Structure formats: C-alpha cells, structure tokens
Amino acid sequence: MAFDTHNHTHFSFDAEMGIQEALQEAARHHLNLVLTEHYDLNERQDDGAPVDFEISNYFETYSAYRGEHLLLGIELGLDNRQDYVARNREIVAAHPFDMVIGSVHNLQDYDMYTDRGKNFLSKQDFFTQYLIYAEHTIHRNPYIDTFGHIDYPCRYLSYSDNVLRYEDFPLLIDNFLSTLIENDICLEINLRLIDQGGFREGLESIVRRYRELGGQYVTIGGDNHGPETIGVKYPLGAAMAKEYKLTPVYFKNRKRIVDEPMN
Ligand SMILES: [Zn+2]
Ligand SMILES: [Zn+2]
C-alpha cells in the first residue's frame, strides 16, 4: 500500500486527530500514513505558546503503532536564522524520525497564515520574495527529505488570482527546483488544493518543470488534520505523479523507499 506522507494528529497544535481514527480511515482507503507533526521554531500560537510537541512523548505514545502501516516523522518550519537552523538540525539528529518534511510557513517574521490580512505587496513581489526565501531555506536546511506544499501561500492570499504558476516566475522556480534536485530533496505533491481547477494547474506546472529539470521523486501528502480528508484526494496526487513520470516515495529511518502503486 502507498503512504500518505503528510499527516497531523493531536500532537500538532492545530489538529485533534486520534491515531485510531487516522489508521482506520487510512486502511479504508488502502493507504499507510507517515505522521508529520508541526515543529516551527519561528512561529507562535495565538496565545503565544510555541508551535512544537514533546518529541519523546510522541515516540513513546506511537511506538506500538509504528511499523508496516505507520511511520513517524516531523514537519519542520524552515528558517534562515542561524540559531533556528542549528536547533532544527539538532532536533533531527537527536530523534529517530522516519521522515522530515521541511516547510516554509513564514517569511522571516511574516506568518503567511496569521498575518494573511497584512500583506500589502503585489502578487509579483510577494511570490518573488517567497520563492527566493524558499530557495535560501533549502541551502541552509539541506538535511530535509521533502519540501512541503510549495503552493502553501496560495491558500491564504487575497489576490483576485492566488495561483502560483511556473510561467509567471520561471527563473525563480527553476532556481528553487534545481536546488531541491541538487540536494536530493523530494518535491511534495500536497493535496490540499489539488481538486481546485486553477490551483491544480498551477501545481501541475511546477511538478512538470521539476521533472523536466531532472527531478525523479515526489512525496504525496494530504496534509490531513482530521480523518475526514484522509485518502479522499490521494488518487489525484498519484495521477499527477504518474502523468509526469515521477516516482512516489516515502521515507523510513530517513531512507527513501519507492511506494507501491495504489490498488
Ligand atoms: Zn505545513
Ligand atoms: Zn502540515
């Protein structure tokens, strides 16, 4: 069975999902799961609490479930601050994660979700900053396994058209994708927007270019925060990978493993 490689349970500040319901729903859809709980040194919850979880408790709690159908990962918020880079490296080195997603949720102090009403840049300027920043974070954090949701900002922007298309930023997207490929980091096909026409085409334009530049491997992740979305859009992600001859993979003990096709 294939792995959905991006899932949040109640260890994540913004999810309540229990492990039993997650595994049940995944099995119903013939999927396995990698859990990837939020750990963002550069972010705060609304009440000022950190966006993290007790890692030793996470491994203890889920050790009985870990195996054929469940792997234990983390979604790290990437940043260029040297102290955060160092701490993120330590976190990854100190714990037996199966898989590490690196994600850009913030552009330095600008939180793309919380501060979504305070973006006064043009679309051109916003994505220019985002893509340059994302590329830099890969240079600084090359130890990750896959880059999460390149189209994350599209979820929260308020332009008349929030789609990130390859053809609008070809040089910046080429630089970003080439940096992933040079560092042997996968591109994630995040399923959140994949069923929405324009967003799907935007993501597809980037996935297609990743392949053209020599990218081979993708992870497919629902970014599920509750059981109701598990498996629903996975076939769309698998179909996109297949269309561009990309190989879906997951990571176990930080080793890349080719996924079994969906049946
Ligand atoms: Zn994320
Ligand atoms: Zn996530």
Among 187, 232, 184, CA closest to 206:
187
* Ligand closest to the CA atom of residue 221: 2
pLDDT digits (tens, 9 = 90+) for 192-248: 999 999 999 999 999 999 999 999 999 999 999 999 999 999 999 999 999 999 999
pLDDT of residue 263: 54
Return the CATH number of 2-258, one of 3.40.50.1220, 3.40.50.620, 3.40.109.10, 3.20.20.140: 3.20.20.140
- Calculate mean pLDDT across residues 20-44: 97
**Ligand 1 centroid to residue 261 C-alpha, Å:** 25
Q: How far is the CA of 242 from the centre of ligand 1 (A)?
A: 24
Of residues 197 and 183, which shows the higher confidence score?
183
Q: Which ligand is nearest to the CA of 222?
A: 2
CA of 223 to the centre of ligand 2 (A): 5
Q: Which residues pair with 2 in a beta bridge?
A: 31
If you average pLDDT over every residue of the chain, what do you get?
Answer: 97
- The bridge status of strand 186-190 relative to strand 217-221 is parallel
Give the ligand with the smallest distance to the CA of 77.
1
- pLDDT given at position 260: 85
- Cα–Cα distances (Å) from 244 to 50, 95, 201, 214, 237, in that order, read 39, 34, 13, 11, 11
Task: Please tell me the distance between residue 190's alpha carbon and the centre of ligand 1 in angstroms.
Answer: 9
* Ligand at shortest distance from the CA of 225: 2
How many other β-carbons are positioned within 10 Å of the β-carbon of residue 255? Answer: 11
**131-144: per-residue pLDDT in tens?**
999 999 999 999 99
* pLDDT for res 39: 98
Q: How many angstroms does the Cα of residue 73 sit away from the middle of ligand 2?
A: 11
Nearest ligand, measured from the Cα of 34: 2
Report residue 7's pLDDT band, with 50, 70 and 90 as the boundaries: very high
152 CA from centroid of ligand 1 (Å): 7
Rounded to an integer, the average pLDDT of 146-172 is 97
**CB-CB contact of 89 with 128 (8 Å):** no
User: Rounded to an integer, what distance in angstroms lies between the CA atom of residue 102 and that of residue 193?
Assistant: 19
What is the value of pTM for the model shown?
Answer: 0.97
Distance 14 CA to ligand 2 centre (A): 9
State both tokens at 181: 């490929």
Q: CA 188 to CA 50: how far, in whole Å?
A: 25
Average pLDDT for 76-102: 97
